[in-house]
A and B are shown apart, each in its own frame.
Chain A
Amino acid sequence: MESSILTLLIFVPVAGAVLMLFFAMLYGKENAHYYKWIAAITTGIQLVLAGILYLNFDPALSITESPFTVQLNWITHFNIQYFLGVDGLSIPMVLLTALLSFICIISSWKIEKQALGYFSLFLLLDAGMMGVFLSMDFFLFYIFWEVMLLPMYFLIGIWGGPQRMYAAIKFFLYTLFGSVFMLLALLALYYYSDPHTFSLITLIQTVGSIDATLWGLSVKYLIWMALFIGFAIKVPIVPFHTWLPLAHVEAPTAVSVILAGVLLKMGTYGFLRISYPLLPGEMVNFAYILAVLGVINIIWGATNAIAQIDLKKMVAYSSVSHMGYVLLGIAAAISDSPAGAQAGMNGALMQMFNHGTITAMLFLLVGMLYDRTHHRWIVFPNDYEKPELAGQQGFGGLGAKVPVYTGFVAFAFFAGLGLPALSGFISEAMCFIGGFSVFRTLTIIATLGILLNAIYFLRAYQRIFLGPLNETYKDLPDITHRELFTIIPLAALILFFGVYPAPLLDMISPAMDGIIKIVQSVI
């Protein structure tokens, strides 16, 4: 049982998708009801499996010792293995993926357009994400990384907003551009290391001895850069971020949740899983640039968010800003004070998890508003299609009309701006502590981000929920039970880890210590 649980986590959703196809053949494609339930049940099973994994997970065990690890030969000719494992670095991501997938299926309950396609693609996406976080073989990792793009393309392209086709192909081209460089890095790692292997665990030992040069640069540096491009586009680090606001705005709610909640984390997960342990020397040299990029992300994302009048776009830019904290935190791994390095790295991983829950909640709430009012304008743009509305406030005074909804939005906004006692605060503070121990000036600049975050969240809150009620929305219904069901688990997690982060911290810190040790060993 223990060794098959990781395989099941990946392939239960695939089985669900296949089951849907059978249903479609037997009963015709029209019955959206079947597909919803199949999707909900499969992601439910996956969530239960993830729960079992969590309960039996021992953070002290490394991947080679863990009872969950599966290692089988797939293509012996290339020494490719079906190698799955879980450690402190991947378990929060696995739990997050399982939770968000389930929640997203529930929140997509009203999808009627081509339900078969939507839910089966969603399950494939789920499987791909799970695979990325569980693969310990670089080839397998790469496969899942790419497999995930296909359903995402269709989900944005078919069920998205007016500019969906452009957004979908832009997302695909950007991320493919990044991942093809990863393919080159993968091959270089395979052929330069001795023995030739794709196993990320073995590579940690063998990569160190590569001392070849190419075009006047060391091969290891080139590999680092290739991996960096691949991961940076995913994070996204600022010059590569332009796919993100577009994709988020056009994607349907549940897909935005997955994009922001899970996909962005893959970039930083890739740094921690592959770049850091394999190329610690290059990482140390690059750490300062990484921190600078992190600070740029924080400030750039936040200032852009301030400028947005589309609520969803604002939340999308807030993600850019929040991922900046993660970059600052992981750059602090080079800190000469052990406490600083630990705070930075643990804070970064916690921020990845916490941002996943917070941003998911934000996108779900935005989606609920959109479902009811069919627009998301905080302020209507000047060239709006109805000239009498141009420049007017989009909402206003909803607070009195939909109090429960407003309460949750306030909760999510405060979590987003890093209010103490909510989970975002803890992880952001830890990233700053870590960052401050190495990059003083940068961190001081970065703390401005907190202020900027507060500006746009509070201003948006004020414009939408306070003031006199906009008469257009005098019949606005409040949150439904189904919607509550999707929001409450996230809110509970945000509150719980805000007050008592120890369970999360205990789970991840041994793995992060391991990475810090590798990095510190080359300084």
Chain B
Amino acid sequence: MSNLSSLSFYIPELIIIIAILLVIVLDVIPVCKKYTFPLSLGAILLASVFLWQSYGESHGLFMGMISIDPFSHFFKMIFLLSTFSIILISRYEKQLDSNYSAEYNALLLIVLLGMFLMSSSINLIMIYLSIELVSIPSYILAGMLKNDKESNEASLKYVIFGSFASGLMLFGLSILYGITGSTDIGVVTAALQAIEYPLSIYFPLILILVGFGYKISMVPFHFWTPDVYEGAPTPITAFLSVAPKAAGFAILIRVFYTMFTLEGSVSATLPLTNINWPTLIAVASAVTMTLGNLLAVQQEDVKRLLAYSTISHVGFMLMAFAIISPDAVRAIMLYLFIYLFMNLSAFYMAIFASNKLNAHHINDWDGLSRKNPVLCAFMALTLISLTGLPPTAGFVGKFYIFAELFKHQQFYWLAVVAILNSVVSLYYYFKIIKSMYLVDVEGEVNKIEAHPVVNWSIILFSAQNILFFIYWEPLIGFIEKSINLWSG
């Protein structure tokens, strides 16, 4: 489709672009400064309305640079939801200086735009650009607390690791271009089918995996994760742990399913001849979840603990990615959807604790259940869900992923590794529950109320854990409809 006629299918992105520009402009006009916050939220709402209207359409836009398809729509919904929630919650985070609120919102919107592109790029150059568009504002956001040493450290580490990883990925992409002569992934796929020498595909494949693996913090490209998550302002940590990861998975699925499989589509079941990347992913998955879990066990800082635990969740999702099948994609999408809610509510609880109690260390959470019983009950529910125990949605997510391994009768050893890992994860998630509930606190305790926005965000995001456990069939049906990739 030509550039001009593509624009009419590009309305959600255009809305976001206009909002970014407006926020930047309004920031310099002193009277209008306060409107940047409602403007950002409004833009996201408007974008989601337009997105919902076009849900399920499938087009190639901008002369084969971008594709609009149900698969990307699903992920865009996740991005909109998480960005909306983060912008909203950030206003009630004490750490953040409200003077920079406009910049902050503009940067978040730019990341949002980048993630939109990530989920729908079908061209090697677009892939690289969209990842950078997500990364660069994220570096700044991680260092948003200008006077905080840890935040600066987080930002710097993020930049160094990030640029290194994207450099390697760019190298991989250029090799692909070199051996196939095209940047359009459809053409690349066709050309790759003809290449018999496996090493020439393995080499770029692994380099590309470095770039994607870095975005989703797959071991061994995870080193930035704990430091960045600990140093960054908590709402940004929450954001980074969810949205860019989902985007990373979106692009991972799209690129690998279209470029490195025999069928070259999401309905693929076999990798390219001679190339056994599923085993590579399976090993990475086992290492990722095990390392993430074992390191999380030792953590005493709640944010850092949650950071390592997100690594282990990535390992879980990669487990299904090692199975090439549309059902596996569905399982990953279901897990991501549930993971979005449970992780956000856990981090919001950390925001509440650090805002009201200045609590960072697990021991600072001692007896919290008596200070705010309602939120703690929901936090306990979230943690149970993160562990993956019934009756919660986290269990459903894990169940679907395990079911994929059994359905395709592959990687049983991975299932055993994963199941042992979920026992390990019980230990550290329940360290938080232990602090909240089991530890006795002496003397009178005062009730602490959260701001209503924080309060209801935690409750709503946590309550879904029960809802999607009791009846998840509609959710799975919705995802089922969303796994179509556009093919030229």
Contact = CB atoms under 8 A, between A and B. Distances in A.
Interface stretch (B21-29, B161-169, B264-272, B413-421): B413-421
B476 to A, nearest CB: 6
Contact of A180 (B384, B420, B471): B420
Nearest to B430: A169
Interface residues of A, number: 33
Given A169-B430, A191-B406, A181 B438 contact: no
A187 B406 contact: yes
B438 A158 contact: yes
A187 B419 CA distance: 12
Contact of B419 (A153, A169, A183, A191): A183
A188 B430 contact: no
15 contacts: A75-B471, A75-B473, A142-B390, A147-B390, A150-B389, A157-B434, A157-B438, A165-B438, A169-B430, A169-B434, A173-B426, A183-B402, A184-B402, A187-B402, A191-B407
Contact of B438 (A77, A142, A164, A187): A164
B427 A180 contact: no
Nearest to B403: A187
B203 interface: no
Contacts of B439: 165
Interface in A46-81: 75-78
B437 A157 contact: yes
B199 interface: no
Contact of B416 (A76, A164, A184): A184
B44 to A, nearest CB: 32
Q: Which 5 A-B pairs have the closest CB atoms?
A: A180-B419, A157-B438, A187-B406, A191-B406, A143-B390
A331 B427 CA distance: 35
Contacts of A76: 473
A29 B422 CA distance: 35
A190 B390 contact: no
Contacts of A169: 427, 430, 434
A146 B389 contact: yes
Given A142-B390, A176-B422, A191-B409, 15 more contacts: A29-B373, A75-B471, A77-B476, A77-B477, A147-B390, A157-B434, A158-B437, A165-B439, A168-B434, A173-B427, A176-B389, A180-B420, A187-B402, A191-B406, A215-B412
Most buried by A among B422, B437, B472: B437
Given A173-B427, A176-B423, A168 B438 contact: yes
Contact of A143 (B391, B402, B426): B391
For B390, B434, B439, the residue with the greatest tally of chain A CB atoms inside 10 Å of its CB is B390
Contacts of A184: 402, 415-416, 419
Nearest to A169: B430
A323 interface: no
A142 B423 CA distance: 16
Interface string A154-175: 1001100000110011001100
A75 B399 CA distance: 13
B391 A147 contact: yes
Interface of B: 373, 384, 389-391, 395, 399, 402-403, 406-407, 409, 412, 415-416, 419-420, 422-423, 426-427, 430, 434, 437-439, 471-473, 476-477
Contacts of A177: 420, 423
Interface of A: 29, 75-78, 142-143, 146-147, 149-150, 153-154, 157-158, 164-165, 168-169, 172-173, 176-177, 180-181, 183-184, 187-188, 190-191, 214-215
A150 B466 CA distance: 14
A173 B399 CA distance: 19
Contacts of A214: 412
Contacts of B409: 191
Nearest to A74: B471
A172 B407 CA distance: 29
A75 B472 contact: yes
Contacts of B416: 184
A150 B426 contact: no
A173 B390 contact: no
Contact of B406 (A153, A172, A188): A188
B438 A180 contact: no
Nearest to B426: A176
B389 A181 contact: no
A154 B436 CA distance: 11
Given A77-B476, A153-B430, A173 B423 contact: yes
B15 to A, nearest CB: 35
Nearest to A181: B419
Given A176-B426, A177-B423, A77 B473 contact: yes
B438 A172 contact: no
A215 B409 CA distance: 12
A327 B422 CA distance: 30
A183 B389 CA distance: 11
A169 B321 CA distance: 32
A150 B423 CA distance: 14
A258 to B, nearest CB: 19
B447 to A, nearest CB: 11
Nearest to A188: B406
Given A75-B472, A157-B437, A190-B406, A172 B430 contact: yes
Contacts of B399: 183
B430 A149 contact: no
Contacts of A176: 389, 422-423, 426
A153 B383 CA distance: 14
Nearest to B415: A184
A146 B390 contact: yes
Contacts of B407: 191
Contacts of A215: 412
Contacts of B437: 154, 157-158
A23 to B, nearest CB: 14
A49 to B, nearest CB: 23
Contacts of A153: 430
Nearest to A153: B430
Contacts of B430: 153, 169, 172
A29 B445 CA distance: 14
A158 B433 CA distance: 11
A190 to B, nearest CB: 7
A350 B121 CA distance: 66
A462 to B, nearest CB: 38
A142 B390 CA distance: 9
B382 to A, nearest CB: 13
A516 B403 CA distance: 32
Nearest to A145: B390
A165 B416 CA distance: 28
A215 B437 CA distance: 44
Contacts of B412: 214-215
A178 B434 CA distance: 22
Contact of B422 (A78, A150, A154, A180): A180
Nearest to A29: B373
A159 to B, nearest CB: 10
A172 B427 CA distance: 9
A147 B392 CA distance: 10
A147 B395 CA distance: 11
